[in-house]
């Protein structure tokens, strides 16, 4: 018996070693490509900025983290709120939240429409949704700029219809950022919603109508709870890139409507304050993690009451 047990233990150990060896390449890639750079950013955030960029190695300082939300007075060196940084962070959170809501409002009926088409035509509709991914993000952003600028397609159409007399100032505003991010990230909401709605058992919808439920009641009590995983996945896929958006605010928002991604780039570029840029990068990651945890927990708690 001892011989058989010993053989089984050795076999189990060998199996564990084999699994670790097989997983080693993937673990190395994850560390080098993801955890490694984050660790470097975390290390830089606690260092002293260099005179011409970079950092002074092995000089510990909390100035990077302090400068995220505070700034020192140039005369008496007292700390005060960094109003510009706080304003940009709050603008980024607001625009990302409203982008997620707007893409959900537009994406849900779109995904529902595709999922309720005949099976042989659904692939065509999904294909049409994915066409924007074939084009570079910068090109799509410039295309949106040509639509919403003062002499663009939207203003010309509204003037031609007699709705307005002079062009609307949309470009270089928060509204431009919101429209641009909604346009760019809408497919990221539609595809997860479509995947969830396609798996929906529509016999439950028919049963709801048979029990004299209204369309709104069927939507609220049957459809939405059953496709909630798609809503959560789509919201995550939209909120995260929106919060760290760089190209869209740079092109559509102008210099005075920058977002957190632009502010981070400025610190590593013209600002030459790498510790502050690194601290802001980690702050961005923390905001994303907190937002996702709160959202997923609330969504799961909200769905626990449905049977």
167 and 296 fall within a common domain:
yes
32 and 180 fall within a common domain:
no
| Residue 273 pLDDT greater than 50, yes or no | yes
14 and 159 fall within a common domain:
no
Q: pTM for the whole thing? A: 0.84
Segment 130-153, tens digit of pLDDT: 988 888 899 999 999 999 999 999
Q: How many domains does the chain have?
A: 2
Q: What is the DSSP string of 180-243?
A: HHHHHHHHHHHHHHHHHHHT--HHHHHHHHHTT--HHHHIIIIIHHHTHHHHHHHHHHHHHHHH
157 and 271 fall within a common domain:
yes
30 and 146 fall within a common domain:
no
- Position 20 scores a pLDDT of 86
What percentage of the chain reaches a pLDDT higher than 90? 44
92 and 31 fall within a common domain:
no
108 and 22 fall within a common domain:
no
294 occurs within a structural domain: yes
Q: Which residues pair with 49 in a beta bridge?
A: 55
225 occurs within a structural domain: yes
Q: Which range marks the domain in which residue 124 is found?
A: 83-303
The CA distance from 68 to 84, in Å, is 10
70 occurs within a structural domain: no
| Residue 219 pLDDT greater than 80, yes or no | yes
162 occurs within a structural domain: yes
13 and 150 fall within a common domain:
no
36 and 98 fall within a common domain:
no
Torsion on CA atoms 113, 115, 119, 125, rounded to nearest 10: 60
CATH of the domain at 161: 1.10.3720.10
């Amino acid at each position: 018996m001892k011989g058989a047990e010993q053989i089984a233990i050795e076999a189990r150990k060998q199996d564990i070693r084999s699994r670790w060896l097989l997983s080693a390449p993937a673990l190395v890639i994850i560390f080098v490509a993801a955890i490694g750079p984050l660790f470097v950013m975390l290390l830089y955030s606690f260092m002293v900025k260099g005179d011409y960029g970079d950092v002074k190695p092995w000089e510990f300082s909390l100035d990077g983290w302090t400068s995220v939300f505070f700034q020192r007075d140039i005369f008496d060196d007292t700390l005060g709120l960094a109003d510009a940084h706080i304003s940009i962070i709050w603008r980024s959170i607001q625009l990302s939240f409203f982008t997620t809501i707007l893409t959900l409002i537009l994406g849900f009926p779109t995904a529902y429409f595709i999922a309720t088409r005949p099976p042989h035509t659904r692939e065509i509709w999904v294909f049409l949704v994915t066409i924007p991914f074939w084009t570079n993000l910068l090109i799509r952003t410039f295309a949106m700029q040509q639509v919403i600028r003062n002499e663009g397609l939207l203003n010309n159409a509204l003037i031609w219809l007699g709705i307005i007399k002079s062009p609307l100032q949309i470009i270089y505003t928060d509204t431009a950022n919101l429209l641009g991010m909604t346009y760019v990230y809408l497919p990221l909401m539609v595809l997860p919603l479509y995947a969830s709605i396609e798996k929906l058992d529509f016999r439950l919808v028919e049963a709801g109508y048979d029990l004299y439920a209204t369309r709104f009641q069927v939507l609220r009590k049957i459809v939405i709870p059953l496709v909630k995983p798609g809503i959560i996945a789509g919201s995550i896929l939209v909120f995260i890139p929106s919060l760290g958006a760089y190209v869209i605010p740079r092109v559509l928002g102008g210099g005075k409507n920058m977002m957190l991604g632009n502010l981070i780039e400025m610190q590593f570029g013209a600002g030459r304050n790498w510790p502050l840029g690194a601290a802001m990068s980690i702050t961005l990651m923390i905001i994303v993690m907190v937002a996702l945890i709160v959202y997923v927990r609330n969504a799961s708690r909200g769905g626990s009451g449905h049977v």
